[in-house]
Structure 1
Amino acid sequence: MKHLLKLTILAGLSLAAPGNAQSAGDDKAAGDRAAGIHRRVLTLDSHADVLLPSTPKRYFLPDGGSRTDLKRLIAGGVDAVVLAVAVGPGPRDAAGVAAARKEADAKLAWIKAFVADDPGRIGLALDAGDVERLHRAGKVAVIIGFQNARSIGSDLSQLDAFYKAGVRVFAFNHAGHNDFADSSRPWNEPESVNGGLSPLGRQGVKRLNDLGALIDVSQLSTRALLQTLDLTRAPVVATHSNARGLIDNTRNLSDAELDAIKANGGVVQVTPFSPYLHKQDADSLRRIAEVRARYGLPATFKGPSDDASSLSHERQDAFIDEVGAAQSRGTLAEFVDHIDYIAKRIGWQHVGIGSDFNHGSGVIGFDSEADALNVTRELVRRGYDEAQIKAIWGGNFLRVLGAAEAARAS
């Protein structure tokens, strides 16, 4: 059983600067050291999706499995995972909200069943202390997250209902705007419809603070993110976001956004999602352009799946499948490049790991929870020490989760 991770790194502790790679002759020793560190630290994945029978097959592993099933969590030595009650973009009329809520409820029920089916090895965590307790007991801790307020329409009281059901991490957006906030990825919409947060979204920030829930700023527009930071009285988390300084994508965070999250005391959890950390080469761009031409889309685009929202639902699915197959994949090294960038920009105390597995994420070397040790190996290779790796793999997230709980209204 792994040792308990201390949530606070002692002030004044002398730490090696990250990014100093090991020499080739040290590879064996570094590998052994990484394995030991990985056993000792509490490893936490701050965002993964739930697979339902209705989920498109492209999100499953080639063998039909989940990247976050218990077998792979245990194989990778992953001690805790945030499973998201997430819905995608879609209509915001009554029928659209009802359909989104049905999907959200099905995912919440799936998570509860996942925990209940194997109580000897899994437990539900309702706060940071529960994560530690379950870790001491040798169990995988499951935290429930929420993504995209499209599933609750304009009903603020549903934040309370989901919190009561066990949700502890809340994100207002996915792709597409909703009644609470603008998204960093408008879905066949104007760039902004709310001016960032709507009045309802502003109320939502206060309500989440009052509940003691952790606010997730991934997928918010820049204006909505900065407004959230101005309003919140607790640190926030971006559960699955990368650095725009390396890859210019609206889903990635600019240096100004990173700096603002640091000032808030928050954490950015880097995700191994290829489009947000990997540049397509000339051959891949040619293949992507050929797919786009077959669907009547222009060759000029910001990302391979841009303009998909202009297609019919049936054609969207086929297009996303084909353009995904045409793309080259990111690598573990590129993923850790983003951890490096953020650690050097705002400090290793403000960076972590959120896989976004089961929603198109996965790179060569980190394609499921079973590959988690590879991340630790690469961090060790680049000169991160054990205290820093503890923080990146779980400590930073648990710190902000605890701080959100402490901000709860009395």
Structure 2
Amino acid sequence: MIDRIKYLALTGLLLASAVQAQSSGQTDASAIHQRVLILDSHADVLLPSTPKRYYLPDGSSRVDLAHLTRGGVDALVLAVAVGPGPRDAAGVAAARREADEKLARIKAFIAGNPQRVGLALGAEDVERLHREGKIAVLIGFQNARSIGKDLSQIDLFYREGVRIFAFNHAGHNDFADSSRPGAEPVSEHGGLSPLGREAVKRLNDLGVLIDVSQLSSDALLQTLQLTRVPVAATHSSARALIDNSRNLSDAELDAIKANGGVVQVTPFSVYVHKQDRAGLARTAAVRTRYGLSAEADTPYAGSEAFPEERRNAFLDALAAAQSRGTLGEFVDHIDYIAKRIGWRHVGIGSDFDHGSGVSGFDSEADAPNVTAELVRRGYSEEQIAAIWGGNFLRVLRAAAAGRAK
């Protein structure tokens, strides 16, 4: 009987210790999250015309002030981004209207919350605003389709506050080939066009950080050969884990490390999660229903030629059919890249409000979950601080330091 009592007492102590250790781990993660600068290097801007699938179920943005505050996010890059489309005069004009509207909304967000939010034009501003207890907003740019062939527009966007510049989205443009050509030939320029090569130099001269996410492999490697300063892939994941052309191969990861750059992992389900058998069957059924082959390199392949209304309906059906990634799968990509090229070359870029999000990290409000998972996997506070913001600020500072005198 005494042995039984001792056993029960010991079991109770062990259980209490386990609970205490778990609680301590949560407390440590929470404290670390509060201490380090939390930066998201890529998010989109919602417009009234944006398809509803990009909004949260309650109709809100994943990166609005309420979600940023709940998640303890200290800085983010909002992108003046446009998608694929025609490159004739009318198509470029429509893309430019979209870009201008998004730029205006970013500025309105900052101006409308002067006590909570501030515009950052560099790493020093991010750190200053953080000390002031404000959220720092950096302005990014994505897809040169909105500027056609006019190199001088890079200077204009710089004057408007853009400090991060990505050549592509899906589809090639007049500056560079995309990693997602869609219905177009795999390559149009063999990487960067002559205009794109000029743009690399102009961006270096201005001190703008070049974003290599969504470039074709040739275009990415050519950019690394031409640039004088480190680059960032603001929202990319690892192709070794998920074989998708939007993800970066080991050779590309190694080249970015050699450049001194950083890869910001994105929690976009299709780029971090392998569909289960049921999800694949549902996806094939959706594709068949829309007159596409059941199997393709990507679930979206072939839909680029659809009229806009039909393509939106197809993408809505596809999103409902696919199984969803998890926080753990997302952090697996951080782990892989940290082990491949070092934790000083990896960070986080959500791509929220453009279809991104996984279970456990579906808005900025969930950012503490990422920190907790990094702590659980054994990352130190120094490493977490680097991954959440320090690495990106390093390359942002390096780009600014390399501007022409």
Q: Deviations over 1:227-256 (max 9, x none)?
A: 000000000000000000000000000000
**Of 363, 380, 396, the match for 2:358:** 363
Q: Distance in 2 between matches of 1:237 and 1:148?
A: 15
**Of 373, 391, 397, the match for 2:368:** 373
Amino acid at match of 2:60: G
Alignment of 1:295-306 (within 5 A): 295-306=290-301
Q: Distance in 2 between matches of 1:333 and 1:267?
A: 21
Match of 2:319 in 1: 324
Detail structure 1 runs of 4+ shifted over 6 Å in the superposition: none
CA contact (8 A) 1:43 1:393 kept: yes
Amino acid at match of 2:342: G
Q: Distance in 1 between matches of 2:140 and 2:341?
A: 25
CA contact (8 A) 1:90 1:96 kept: yes
**Of 227, 236, 239, the match for 1:232:** 227
Amino acid at match of 2:168: N
Amino acid at match of 2:69: I
Work out whether 1:404 is the aligned partner of 2:382.
no
CA contact (8 A) 2:284 2:294 kept: yes
Match of 1:390 in 2: 385
Q: Any idea what SS the aligned residue of 1:64 has?
A: coil
Q: Distance in 2 between matches of 1:321 and 1:229?
A: 36
Amino acid at match of 1:345: R
- Could you tell me how far 1:368 is from its partner in structure 2? 0.2
Amino acid at match of 2:57: P
Larger radius of gyration: 2
Q: Normalising by the residue count of structure 2, what TM-score does the alignment of the two structures yield?
A: 0.95
Work out whether 1:178 is the aligned partner of 2:173.
yes
Which stretches in structure 1 are left out of the alignment for 5+ residues? 1-22
Q: Distance in 2 between matches of 1:294 and 1:245?
A: 31
Match of 1:207 in 2: 202
Q: Distance in 2 between matches of 1:302 and 1:383?
A: 36
User: Which structure features the higher share of helix residues?
Assistant: 2
CA contact (8 A) 1:196 1:227 kept: yes
Work out whether 1:114 is the aligned partner of 2:106.
no
- Could you tell me how far 1:312 is from its partner in structure 2? 2.2
Q: Any idea what SS the aligned residue of 1:283 has?
A: helix
Q: Deviations over 1:65-120 (max 9, x none)?
A: 00000011010000000000000000000000000000000000000000000100
Larger relative contact order (CA 8 Å, sep ≥ 6): 1
- Could you tell me how far 1:395 is from its partner in structure 2? 0.1
Amino acid at match of 1:115: I
Work out whether 1:281 is the aligned partner of 2:267.
no
Work out whether 1:130 is the aligned partner of 2:125.
yes
- Could you tell me how far 1:308 is from its partner in structure 2? 1.1
Question: Alpha carbon RMSD of aligned pairs, Å?
Answer: 0.9
Q: Distance in 2 between matches of 1:147 and 1:361?
A: 16
CA contact (8 A) 2:80 2:102 kept: yes
**Of 68, 71, 74, the match for 2:69:** 74
Match of 2:80 in 1: 85
CA contact (8 A) 1:89 1:187 kept: no
Match of 1:350 in 2: 345
Q: Normalising by the residue count of structure 1, what TM-score does the alignment of the two structures yield?
A: 0.94
Which stretches in structure 2 are left out of the alignment for 5+ residues? 1-17
**Of 153, 166, 174, the match for 1:158:** 153
Q: Aligned pairs, how many?
A: 388
Work out whether 1:310 is the aligned partner of 2:299.
no
Q: Any idea what SS the aligned residue of 1:179 has?
A: coil
CA contact (8 A) 2:182 2:301 kept: no
Match of 2:285 in 1: 290
